Protein backbone atom coordinates (compact mmCIF):
# COMPACT_ATOMS: atom_id res chain seq x y z
CA UNK A 1 0.00 0.00 0.00
CA UNK A 2 1.26 3.45 -0.88
CA UNK A 3 1.04 5.57 2.25
CA UNK A 4 0.23 9.24 1.97
CA UNK A 5 2.37 11.67 3.97
CA UNK A 6 -0.48 12.36 6.42
CA UNK A 7 -0.61 8.65 7.33
CA UNK A 8 3.14 8.53 7.89
CA UNK A 9 2.97 11.74 9.96
CA UNK A 10 0.20 10.32 12.17
CA UNK A 11 2.27 7.21 12.73
CA UNK A 12 5.32 9.27 13.65
CA UNK A 13 3.22 11.29 16.08
CA UNK A 14 2.03 8.09 17.75
CA UNK A 15 5.63 6.87 17.97
CA UNK A 16 6.51 10.10 19.75
CA UNK A 17 3.63 9.65 22.17
CA UNK A 18 4.74 6.10 22.94
CA UNK A 19 8.29 7.29 23.56
CA UNK A 20 6.83 9.87 25.92
CA UNK A 21 5.00 7.15 27.84
CA UNK A 22 8.21 5.14 28.16
CA UNK A 23 9.95 8.23 29.55
CA UNK A 24 7.08 8.73 31.99
CA UNK A 25 7.47 5.12 33.15
CA UNK A 26 11.19 5.57 33.64
CA UNK A 27 10.47 8.70 35.68
CA UNK A 28 7.96 6.64 37.74
CA UNK A 29 5.12 9.04 36.99
CA UNK A 30 1.67 8.48 38.44
CA UNK A 31 -0.37 5.64 36.98
CA UNK A 32 -3.31 7.92 36.18
CA UNK A 33 -1.05 10.13 34.04
CA UNK A 34 0.16 7.08 32.13
CA UNK A 35 -3.39 5.89 31.55
CA UNK A 36 -4.43 9.27 30.16
CA UNK A 37 -1.57 9.18 27.67
CA UNK A 38 -2.18 5.54 26.76
CA UNK A 39 -5.86 6.28 26.17
CA UNK A 40 -4.88 9.09 23.80
CA UNK A 41 -2.52 6.73 21.99
CA UNK A 42 -5.24 4.09 21.66
CA UNK A 43 -7.59 6.69 20.19
CA UNK A 44 -4.87 7.79 17.79
CA UNK A 45 -4.24 4.21 16.66
CA UNK A 46 -7.98 3.70 16.09
CA UNK A 47 -8.13 6.84 13.96
CA UNK A 48 -5.01 5.80 12.06
CA UNK A 49 -6.56 2.41 11.31
CA UNK A 50 -9.74 4.11 10.05
CA UNK A 51 -7.73 6.42 7.84
CA UNK A 52 -5.67 3.55 6.40
CA UNK A 53 -8.69 1.33 5.73
CA UNK A 54 -10.72 4.18 4.20
CA UNK A 55 -7.83 5.23 1.98
CA UNK A 56 -7.28 1.62 0.93
CA UNK A 57 -10.98 1.23 0.08
CA UNK A 58 -10.95 4.34 -2.09
CA UNK A 59 -7.74 3.29 -3.83
CA UNK A 60 -9.19 -0.17 -4.51
CA UNK A 61 -12.35 1.33 -6.01
CA UNK A 62 -10.32 3.68 -8.20
CA UNK A 63 -8.03 0.87 -9.38
CA UNK A 64 -10.72 -1.75 -9.99
CA UNK A 65 -13.14 0.56 -11.79
CA UNK A 66 -10.59 2.82 -13.47
CA UNK A 67 -12.17 5.97 -12.06
CA UNK A 68 -10.88 8.91 -10.06
CA UNK A 69 -12.73 9.82 -6.88
CA UNK A 70 -12.32 13.53 -6.13
CA UNK A 71 -13.23 15.84 -3.27
CA UNK A 72 -13.81 13.14 -0.68
CA UNK A 73 -11.58 14.52 2.07
CA UNK A 74 -14.54 15.76 4.14
CA UNK A 75 -16.13 12.32 3.95
CA UNK A 76 -12.88 10.59 4.90
CA UNK A 77 -12.48 12.96 7.85
CA UNK A 78 -16.02 12.15 8.97
CA UNK A 79 -15.29 8.41 8.96
CA UNK A 80 -12.06 8.92 10.87
CA UNK A 81 -13.66 11.23 13.44
CA UNK A 82 -16.62 8.92 13.97
CA UNK A 83 -14.29 6.17 15.15
Q: How far apart are CA 59 and CA 55, in angstroms?
A: 6
- Say what the pTM is: 0.85
Cβ–Cβ < 8 Å for 46, 83: yes
Domain boundaries, the chain: 5-82
Over residues 22-31, the pLDDT tens digits come to: 999 999 999 9
Over residues 36-70, the pLDDT tens digits come to: 999 999 999 999 999 999 999 999 999 999 988 88
Fold for domain 5-82? Methane Monooxygenase Hydroxylase; Chain G, domain 1 (1.20.58)
Closest to 43 in 3D by CA, of 65, 70, 10:
10
Amino acid sequence: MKCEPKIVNRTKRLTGQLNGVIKMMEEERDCSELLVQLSAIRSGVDKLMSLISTTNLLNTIEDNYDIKLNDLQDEIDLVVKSR
